[in-house]
Amino acid sequence: MKAETNPPSAELGPDAGQAWPRSIAVIGAAGPIGSGVVYQLALAGVGNTIHLVDVKENVARAHAIDISEAQVLAGVREPRLSVLNPAATDSGEKVDVVIVAASAPEVPGGDRRDFLAANLRLLRLLAPTIEKLSGNDGIVLLLSNPVDVLAECLHRITDISPDRILGYSINDSVRFQAAVARELGIEPHRVRAQVLGEHGKGQVPCFSSVTVDGAPVTLTASQQEHIREDIDGWFQRWSALEPGRSSGWATPLGVLRMIGLMARGETFPAAAWTAGAQGLEEAFIALPVMMSSGRVQVTNWQGSPEEQAGLANAAASVREAAALHLSQELSQQPGRPGQPTQ
């Protein structure tokens, strides 16, 4: 199975005959990732309407003006940009894709799981807006860390069917692809490689399916160790720079790529509901998926026994983390045992 990590095609918009998605909502559109997503989709001509949703309505409107002018420069007629406040989504507006880019500020050090408590509180606040905008058929795409655990939590706290929830994970495969290329001393575009499992420490680099120029490659144990050290250390290296943000360029471009693959019914890695596939516990982990009849479908995948075991561990880890943090969040609410009422 090839990882879909090439740059997105320019032929994504309505002029290229794309019927889906026609309408998109980006929650957290005032932030660097959310506004970057809007920018990429708008200039690629994806859909006919993009709703910028953010409590910082003034910032979202400023982005909308700026990006609309960029569309004029690029000669792009659609999509139209609209600004919505999360508290004003009762208008009956339903969209094909709800992209959740809202996130608590990142802090240096630690692990992606360190953002879970704050982002879970934010997700619960946004859940009614997500449900209203997605309606009965819209796809929900989460970008916030840790994406797989948050996808599991969203499934548990809303009535959104799990086969309509996705978590963005393409960057993990891109970093694996780049690490393999560095180890082999070749250009990254020649490599195809994918990461499945849990975003972060539970990631499963699929060495069994790495190819170079389309041909399978067997990496030595030493090479695999170097590559694992490279990709496992990515977050610490990034965090040490203290940028105060997530990847604001790769992720928006990856989202554009992902939506194009969804529209064409092609396979890509994403955090998706396992639905008990291949003996995995029901949870959200990165797996090869595709869109079929408006729903997310996990595709057949064959890996080494070690990779299969890694996926099983990832599914169990995600379920455990979601249950623990939802329980802790509930116990800390005012009026709960051990918590004084105000």
Q: Are strands 165-167 and 139-142 parallel, antiparallel or unpaired?
A: parallel
Q: What is the mean pLDDT of residues 233-260?
A: 90
Q: Output the pLDDT for position 113.
A: 59
pTM of the model: 0.90
pLDDT at 338: 35
The model's pLDDT over 311-326, given as tens digits with 9 standing for 90+, comes to 999 999 999 999 998 9
Residue-wise pLDDT for 40-81, tens only, equals 999 999 999 999 999 999 999 999 999 999 999 999 999 999
CB-CB neighbours of 249 under 10 Å: 11
**What was the pLDDT predicted at 336?**
42
pLDDT at 7 over 70: no
Average pLDDT over residues 282-294: 95
pLDDT, average across residues 242-268: 92
Q: Would the pLDDT of 334 be above 70?
A: no
| CA pair distance 83, 62, nearest whole angstrom | 10
- Determine the 3-state secondary structure of 35 from DSSP: helix
**pLDDT digits over 166-205, tens only?**
999 999 999 999 999 999 999 999 999 999 999 988 999 9
In this predicted model, which residue has the larger pLDDT, 10 or 244? 244
pLDDT at 341: 26
Confidence (pLDDT) at 297? 94
Mean pLDDT, rounded, of the chain: 88
The band of 9, judged by pLDDT with boundaries at 50, 70 and 90, is: very low
pLDDT value at residue 92: 66
Q: Which residues pair with 211 in a beta bridge?
A: 192, 216
SS3 204: strand
76-125 pLDDT, tens per residue? 999 999 999 887 666 567 899 999 999 987 655 555 556 788 899 999 99
Is residue 3 pLDDT above 70, yes or no?
A: no
Domains and CATH numbers, the chain: 19-167 (3.40.50.720), 170-325 (3.90.110.10)
Contacts of 63 (CB under 8 A, 6+ apart): 29, 30, 35, 38, 39, 52
Say if residue 8's pLDDT is above 60.
no
pLDDT digits (tens, 9 = 90+) for 139-162: 999 999 899 999 999 999 999 999
Confidence at 2, pLDDT banded by 50, 70, 90:
very low
- What pLDDT, on a 0 to 100 scale, did the predictor assign at position 328? 83
At residue 48, the pLDDT reads: 96
The percentage of residues in the chain with a pLDDT greater than 70, rounded to a whole number, is 87
Q: Which residues contact 200 (CB under 8 A, 6 or more apart)?
A: 111, 112, 113, 145, 146, 235
Share of the chain above pLDDT 90, in %: 75
- Using alpha carbons, list the distances in angstroms from residue 291 to 23, 61, 107, 297: 17, 32, 35, 6
Give a three-class secondary structure readout of 66-135: HHHHHHHHHCCCCCEEEEECHHHCCCCCCCCEEEECCCCCCCCCCCHHHHHHHHHHHHHHHHHHHHHHHC
